[in-house]
Amino acid sequence: MMCVCVCDSVMQFRLGKMVVQEFTVDLNKPLVFQVGHLEERYQEWVHQPIVSKEGPRFFGNDVLEFLTRTKWWAVPTIWLPVVCWLLVKSIRMDHTIQEVALLALFGVFIWTLVEYTLHRFLFHIETKTYWANTAHYLLHGCHHKHPMDSLRLVFPPTATAILCVLFWKLVAFFATPTTTPALFGGGLLGYVMYDCTHYYLHHGQPSKDPAKNLKRYHLNHHFRIQNKGFGITSSLWDYVFRTLPPSKTTGKNN
């Protein structure tokens, strides 16, 4: 009799191990520390967008929650004065206005490559462990899951300031002390243009090209084929690196 009970207990244990209930995200609770539990299922989950203008709560802590929310106008308000200061700094270092303008334009151009590279290789990195999923969700996954969340569309100023320090050191390594401010200022201007453009593509209603085409191009990245079309301000680098999304016509023919 005891043997039968033991065998029955072992069988229940084995069945219990086999029938492990999969983790389910509760959208009514703070999300950040939930999504990591999805493990290998995270990538599939995060690329199934929820179209709602009301975003989810990230943290239970009100201070942390506040730091994740940014109005779009904060980006130009904070960073455009910094851009102007940097350009004037190079002028005061005996560069002509024309030279500074060319350096700034080159900085904007370099930013478009940085924008593409970060979006393709960092923002769309595939993760499956708890902390990697959590970090990815904070960095970019939240935007794909809730693409119309207006308060989590542009980059928070605190995070931007930290990245600015790193990019400043990188630019200073390659440029001279007098050209660094203008180059970096151009890159920062490119970033402001990127974030404002990105917000407009989600919440604006452009009626004419090129804005109308850019909106279609970017929403295609969100809702049709998310591993193509990484350019936000232009499709230049998607064309160069062959990551242009196929047209609907091509897909039907195939």
- Report helix angle 180-203 to 157-174, nearest 10: 140
Q: Judge whether 144 and 202 are in contact, CB under 8 Å.
A: no
Does residue 254 sit within a domain? Answer: no
The pLDDT value given to residue 218: 94
The pLDDT value given to residue 53: 80
Q: Which residues of the chain are under the pLDDT cut of 50?
A: 1-20, 250-254
The pLDDT value given to residue 7: 46
Does residue 62 sit within a domain? Answer: yes
Does residue 9 sit within a domain? Answer: no
Report d(CA 115, CA 191) in Å as an integer. Answer: 8
The pLDDT value given to residue 248: 63
Does residue 7 sit within a domain? Answer: no
**Domain span at residue 131?**
31-241
Query: What pTM does this model have?
Result: 0.86
Selection from 137, 163, 164 nearest residue 68 by Cα: 137
Does residue 202 sit within a domain? Answer: yes
Does residue 174 sit within a domain? Answer: yes
- Output the CA–CA distances (angstroms, integers) from residue 60 to 64, 69, 131, 171, in the order listed: 8, 14, 18, 38
The pLDDT value given to residue 5: 44
Residue 215: count other Cβ atoms within 10 Å of its Cβ.
19
Tally of domains within the chain: 1
Does residue 172 sit within a domain? Answer: yes
Report d(CA 127, CA 137) in Å as an integer. Answer: 10
Does residue 185 sit within a domain? Answer: yes
